Structures are given as C-alpha cells and as structure tokens.
Amino acid sequence: MTFRDVLLQRLTFRRQKESKFHEIIVANNRLLQQNMDLEKRTKHLGKENTDDVGTSQRVQELDRRIRELNDERGEMYKTQSENAQRLVNLNEQLRTREEKDKKQTEHVKSLSARCDLQVHQLREKDVTIQILQDELAALQLEIHTTEEKSKRLVLENQQLVERWINKMNEEAEKMNEATQFYETALEQARDAADKQKRQSARRRDGSSAESTKNIPYSSIVLPKKVYKKINIHEAEIHCIAASSCGSMFATGGADKKIKLLDARTGHTLQTLNGALQTITSISFNATDEMVLGSGTDNATRIWSLSTHRLRHTLTGHIGKVYSAKFTADSNRVVSGSHDRTLKVWDLQRGSTIRTIFTFSSCNDICLMDADGQTLISGHLDNNIRLWDARTGAAIKELTGVHSGQITSVSMSPDGNSLLTNSRDNTLKIIDIRMYDIIKSFQSDTYRNGLNWSRSTFSPDGKYVAAGSTSGGIHIWNARTGKVEREISEHSSVVCGVAWNPNGDYLYSAEKNKAVCMWDTSK
C-alpha cells in the first residue's frame, strides 16, 4: 500500500468512529437549546405573574371557556352522530327507492314490450280484418248474384209449373170428355145395381143387429181387493206390461232382468237376462213371439219368447231409452230416449232407418196407428208431439195440455183418443182427430210420483187406471171423469198399471219390488 492509501484508510476509519457520536451531540445541543428557551420563558412568565394581578381570573375564564367548548364539542358530536344515523337511514331509503325504481323500470320495459307486441298483433288483425272484409264483400256479391239467379229460376219454375198444369188440365178435359160417354151409358145400370145392394144390405144389417142383441157382453167388474201379491225381483221394479194375446205379463227393473209371469196364476214362466242396466219399459209384439226391453244403458233389447234368447240389441241412442214399441208387422221398433230423439229400427237389418229430433227428452211413446206411420211422444217439457215416421216431420205439437212433464201416453182401444199422464197429478183424454181435451181426471189422493209412471185404458175403453205415490190404484170412469174405485195394497209408489187385453185382470207394480194381480172378471 502506498502512503496515500494508508492515509485515506485512516481518515475513513476516524470519520466512521467519530460519526457514531454525531447524532448524540446534535440531540444534546437541541436539548440544551430547548432548556435555554424554557428558562427564558419561565423567567418571562414569572415576570408576567408578578406584573399582572388578573391572570388568575383570566385562567378561570379560559377554563370556563374550555368547558363550554368541550360541552359544545359534545353537542356537536351528538349532532354529528344523529346526522350520521340520518345519513344511514337516508342511504337505506335511497337504496330501497333505487331498487323500486329499478323494478319499475323493468316492469315498464316489460309493459313496453307487451305493448309493442299488441301493437304488432293489432296490425296483423287489421290486415286480417281487411282480408275478411274483402272476402265478405266478395261473398255478398256472390250471394246477390245467386239470389238473382234463384229468383230467375223460381220465376222460370213457376212458368213451367203453370204450363204443365195447363197441359194437364187440357189432357184431363180430353179424358173427361172421353169418359163422359161411358159414365152416361153405365149410369142407369149402376143405379139399378145400387138399389139392389142397398136392399140386401138392409136385410143383412137387420139380421146382424138381432143376432148381436142375443150375444151377452161380459163387462169389466172393478176389483175390490187384491187377487194375488208377488215379490219376484231382487231390486226396484220400474215397468210392467201385459202381453198382446193376454196369456202372460212381464215386469222389469233395476236388477237388469225381465220376468215373464202367467197371466192367471202369476207363476214365473221365464227370466230374461242380457241387459246391462235398469229395464225402463217392456212391450210385446202382436203375436207374443217377441218381447223388448228398453234400458238405461242406452239400448233396446229384443228376446225371442220361443227360445228365451236375446235376438237383437239396438244401440245408437246416446241417452237412457225410456220407452220402445213394436209395429204391428213386428218388422220395426220405435224407441224414445232422454237424448231428445226418436229412432225407428229395422229388425231385419238390426239398424236405424230414421232418427227424429224431438227438442226435448222423451219419457214415453205410443203408435197412433198399428203400422207405426204416426208416432206420439210425451216429453220432459210438458208437451205432446205427433210425428210422421216415414219422413221424420212433425205433424202437431200439443202445448198447454199439462203443467208438468208427461210420464205416459197410450191410445184408446178404438184408436180415436189419447190418454196422457203427467207430473201435474192429472190424466187427460185427447181427441186425436181434433186435438181437443175430452176429459180430465184427478183426485185429492192421487199423486204421480215417477217420471215413468204408466197409466192405461181398460180393454173396453170405459175406464182409466193409474197408480199413486201412496201405493193406491185409482180407476176413473172414462166418460164421466169421476173416480169409480180407489184400491190400495201397495206400500210404496206405483210405477205402472197394465190391463190384460181379455179384460179379466189388472196388473200393477210398485217400485219396492211388489206386483199385484187384481181380478176384474167377477
């Protein structure tokens, strides 16, 4: 090492050694200076204390002022705290309002979108309406053109009809002129033959009248007490009917069975099964070869009485079938239903050949004529309607006859009058030719308790019979309208009565399973 380097090293070491006390020296000098300043201030304060007598009062005033300032500061802290709490509350309210405004903004956006959609839909509908209006105008123009064409065709048709009538009249006049000669030539011979026929007819009428006077007529005797009471069904009875030939009668009910009974002894001959629900009406054909039963399963079933087997099942109604009848030739059946229709069935094909819409539920039907060309139906709307079975057209509607629904309709033995039964507790006979009410029947003790309660004429047409809710059988005189006999053996509402066509028995059935036979021959 050179001398210069050694010297530089020693100087550096000395500076490092001495610099360790530099901060202590500086701090000591600063403390000395502060001590000197404090001594000077103390001297100055001591001098002031000796010179100023009111220093203590000033100090007190300063202390009081400090206390006031401290109190004021406390109040300000309190106020600041309250303001801080108010600020927090206001911030919370502001946040709530901002959220509410945000939701309202979103709702407004949704409503705006819906409004835009509706405006779009309205525009589309306006376009559709315009198209429909154009089509309507075109259709109206087409209708107008068609009407004009129809008027022309009607006018042409009238002209053709007039021409055809004139031509037919001309041909008829020619034929009348041609036949006039023959009529004139045969008139004298015809007159002579007519005179001879009238004379022979008078002789025959006189002899037949004398012979009929000698034949005694066995009139019906009204019963006084029950001949036989029978309980054969397992559930409620809904209907009863006598056979056409008078050899048996039948009952049907909620046990889905038809019971065939001997007309004189009441012994059960046969039980017919096959129905799915309650039997509502029974009818025999004219030769007692078949029997039908309508039911609440919307069907009518036909059994053969020779084999006691089910022969036809007629389905097509959409409501309960309350009544059905055979025509005289047994080739057709007419049924009436709760679905407001009548149906005419062809038994050879087993299908419907005509459906008649009746405007009201049908409770019962009957045939005005044996071949079934004219039908009579009684309805839930209190009206009676006549129908042409060939065309399905309405012939006549009888309104105001009853004030309650019709429960039964049946023709008189002579075929000139109709017997009706109603829930207004009256029966009426209507002249079917003039549509006039001939006789009305009622009694203080008679009450019609069922919508399917059936009434009946006696075979000679002199009496009318019906069952009441009390279980009594009322028999009226068909000519006078007076109650001839009131007999009671049943314990519940009577659902139907049927007279044997031979006139020797009256059959009645109550809903509570009992059947009564009344002897009307002695």
Q: 482-512: per-residue pLDDT in tens?
A: 999 999 999 999 999 999 999 899 999 999 9
Residue 17 has pLDDT above 80, yes or no: no
pLDDT band at 32 (very low <50, low <70, confident <90, very high): confident
Long-range contacts of 303-307 (CB under 8 A, 24+ apart): 303/258, 303/272, 303/274, 305/260, 305/270
Looking up tokens 């007419």 gives: 334
Residue 213 has a pLDDT of: 37
Residue 296 has a pLDDT of: 94
Residue 321 has pLDDT above 90, yes or no: yes
Backbone angles phi, psi at 310, to 5 degrees: -70, 130
**Radius of gyration over every alpha carbon of the chain, rounded to an integer in angstroms:** 58
pLDDT band at 217 (very low <50, low <70, confident <90, very high): very low
Residue 209 has pLDDT above 70, yes or no: no
Average pLDDT for residues 368-394, to the nearest whole number?
Answer: 92
Of these ranges, 142-151, 179-188, 458-467, the one predicted with the greatest mean pLDDT is 458-467
SS3 per residue for 415-475: CCEEEEEECCCCEEEEECCCCEEEEEECCCCCCCCCCCCECEECCCCCEEEEECCCCEEEE
Q: Are 427 and 476 in contact (CB under 8 A)?
A: yes
pLDDT band at 208 (very low <50, low <70, confident <90, very high): very low
Residue 448 has a pLDDT of: 93
Higher-pLDDT residue of 493 and 190 is 493
Higher-pLDDT residue of 321 and 139 is 321
Residue 298 has a pLDDT of: 93
Four-point Cα dihedral 158, 162, 163, 168, nearest 10: 140
Residue 212 has pLDDT above 60, yes or no: no
Q: Collect all residues with Cβ–Cβ distance below 8 Å to 335 and sequence separation of at least 6.
A: 294, 300, 314, 317, 321, 323, 324, 342, 343, 345, 365
Backbone angles phi, psi at 176, to 5 degrees: -65, -40
pLDDT band at 181 (very low <50, low <70, confident <90, very high): low
CA distance 321 to 329: 22
Higher-pLDDT residue of 377 and 29 is 377
Average pLDDT for residues 407-423, to the nearest whole number?
Answer: 94
Residue 216 has pLDDT above 60, yes or no: no
Residue length, the chain? 522
Whole-number average pLDDT of the chain: 86
pTM for the whole structure? 0.59
CA distance 2 to 96: 86
Average pLDDT for residues 239-258, to the nearest whole number?
Answer: 94
